[in-house]
A = this chain, B = another copy of it.
Amino acid sequence: MGSIGNVTPQAMHFAEPLRLESGAQLADYTLMYETYGTLNAARSNAVLVCHALNASHHVAGTYAGDPKSTGWWDNMVGPGKALDTNRFFVIGVNNLGSCFGSTGPMHVNPATGNPYGAAFPLVTVEDWVAAQARLADRLGIEQFAAVMGGSLGGMQALAWSIMFPTRLRHCMVIASTPKLSAQNIAFNDVARQAILTDPDYHGGDFYEHGVVPKNGLKVARMVGHITYLSNDDMAEKFGRKLRNAAESNEYAFDFGVDFEIESYLRYQGDKFSEYFDANTYLLITKALDYFDPARGFNGDLTKALAATSAQFMVVSFTTDWRFSPERSREIVEALVSNRRRVTYAEIDAPHGHDAFLLEDARYMNVIRAYYERIGAELEAA
C-alpha cells in the first residue's frame, strides 16, 4: 500500500458553450483533470472524486521532481488504499472557476481580452456537475461506479445523484450537508467582506495591478480555518500555549503574536493567500451558499432526492460543527423516505470538519469496506 507515484495533469478543452444556472454562458472552457488506475474494458470501474473549496484535480500521487506535491486525498486514493487504484479508474477534476488550471477568473475573457476577474460568472454546484458530465462523455464513461466527495465535494456527489440518476451506481457523500445554515453563510460572508474590502482587490481586477488582496484572503482563510477544526482539537493542540513559552512565558502586551494558535492561523492564512485566487474564493463560497437541492421543492429534501436511483454512503464526523452529523442525518432520512439503499457512518473523530481529509482507521475502514462492496458488484457484473 503506497502512493500511486508520479502523476500528470491533463487539460481538456470544450468548445461548446456551457449555459450556467445564473443564465450566463461560458463560450468555451478548459478542465484540468487527473486519472489514476485503468479504465476496464466494460468502462464500469470509474470513480469521480469531487473536490472541496481549496483543493483541485490533484487528488493523489505527486508531480515528478516535486516530492512535496502530494495530492489532497493521497491517504484515501492509491494502490491498495481505501479507494484502490488497482481496481478502480479514479478521476479528479478541477472545477470551473477554481484557480488550478481549469478556466477561471484569472484567465482571459475572450469577450474583452483581459482576465475575467470578478466578471467570471458565478457557478453553482450543479454547473460543476454539468461540466464534469461533459468530461465523462469525452472519456467515454457512461456510468460511474461511484461519485464521491467530502464537504463541498459531497454536495457535487449529491447533485450528480439528482441530475444524472442513471450515470452513477453509488453516491458517497462525506462530511457534507444538504444546504448551508445561516451560521455557515455568515462565516462565508465574513470571508467575502474581508476580500471585497481589501483595497488590493481592485473590484476583482487586481491581476492588472500586479497585486493580490493578501490581507483579505488571509483573514478569509483564518475564519474558514477555525470552522474546519473542532473546539476540543484546538484546545488540545494549542490551548493557551504561548509562542515564546520556551523563553519567557510572558505576555507580549502588543498586537503581535502571543499565542501559538495565533501564530498557526496567521501562518496558514499567509500561505493560503500566496497560492489561492481571491475571485475563486469568492465564487466558491457563493457556490456553497447557493447549494440547496430542496429549494425547487419548497424545502422538501425527500422530494428533491426522489429522482435519485443510486445507492448511497453518507459519512459524518462527531466533532464536525461546520457540517454536523445532524446535517448528514437529514440526507439519510430523506433517502430512507425514498426507500433508497443507504449506508450511514458517524465516525467518532476529534478533528472536526477536517477529519474527512485525515487518516483515521475507522473512517478508512468504512470507506474501504464500501469500495469492496462496489468492487464485488463489478466482478459479479
- List the interface of chain A (C-beta within 8 A of B): 22-24, 118, 121-122, 179-183, 185-187, 189-190, 192-194, 196-199, 215, 218-219, 222-223, 226, 229, 231, 234-235, 237-240, 251, 253-255, 258-259, 261-262, 265-266, 269, 282, 286, 289-290, 292
A141 CB to nearest chain B CB (Å): 30
Name the contact of A189 in the complex, choosing from B189, B237, B261, B292 (C-beta under 8 A): B261
The answer to whether B240 touches A182 (Cβ under 8 A) is yes
Q: Contacts of A183 on B, CB cut-off 8 Å?
A: 226, 229, 231, 234-235
The answer to whether A197 touches B181 (Cβ under 8 A) is no
CB-based nearest B residue for A188:
B262
Q: Given contacts A181-B239, A182-B259, A255-B286, list 11 more A-B pairs with CB under 8 A.
A: A23-B253, A122-B254, A181-B231, A181-B240, A182-B235, A186-B226, A189-B222, A192-B255, A193-B219, A196-B255, A197-B198
A191 CB to nearest chain B CB (Å): 9
Q: How far is the CA of A218 from the CA of B194 in the complex (A)?
A: 9
Q: How far is the CA of A22 from the CA of B229 in the complex (A)?
A: 32
CB-based nearest B residue for A226:
B186
The answer to whether B185 touches A261 (Cβ under 8 A) is yes
Q: Contacts of A190 on B, CB cut-off 8 Å?
A: 219, 222-223, 226, 265
Report if A122-B253 is in contact (Cβ < 8 Å); known contacts: A193-B218, A261-B182: yes
Report if A289-B258 is in contact (Cβ < 8 Å); known contacts: A181-B235, A222-B190: yes
Max count, chain B CB within 10 A of own CB: residue among A179, A186, A266, A282 = A186
The answer to whether A186 touches B222 (Cβ under 8 A) is yes
Q: Contacts of A122 on B, CB cut-off 8 Å?
A: 253-254
A21 CB to nearest chain B CB (Å): 8
Report if A289-B259 is in contact (Cβ < 8 Å); known contacts: A181-B235, A197-B218: yes
Q: Contacts of A182 on B, CB cut-off 8 Å?
A: 234-235, 237-240, 259, 261
Q: How far is the CA of A180 from the CA of B234 in the complex (A)?
A: 12
The answer to whether A251 touches B185 (Cβ under 8 A) is no
The answer to whether A181 touches B234 (Cβ under 8 A) is yes
Question: Chain A binding site: helix, strand, loop or mixed by DSSP?
Answer: helix
The answer to whether B219 touches A262 (Cβ under 8 A) is no
Q: How far is the CA of A292 from the CA of B215 in the complex (A)?
A: 30
Q: Contacts of A239 on B, CB cut-off 8 Å?
A: 181-182
Q: Contacts of A189 on B, CB cut-off 8 Å?
A: 222, 259, 261-262, 265-266
The answer to whether A265 touches B215 (Cβ under 8 A) is no
Q: How far is the CA of A292 from the CA of B121 in the complex (A)?
A: 49
CB-based nearest B residue for A22:
B253
Q: Contacts of A215 on B, CB cut-off 8 Å?
A: 193, 197
The answer to whether B197 touches A240 (Cβ under 8 A) is no
A-B contact pairs, 22 of them (CB 8 A): A22-B251, A23-B253, A118-B255, A122-B253, A122-B254, A181-B231, A183-B226, A185-B259, A185-B262, A187-B223, A189-B222, A189-B259, A189-B261, A189-B262, A189-B265, A190-B223, A190-B265, A193-B219, A193-B222, A194-B194, A194-B219, A199-B199
Name the contact of A121 in the complex, choosing from B179, B253, B258 (C-beta under 8 A): B253
A349 CB to nearest chain B CB (Å): 17
A55 CB to nearest chain B CB (Å): 22
CB-based nearest B residue for A262:
B189
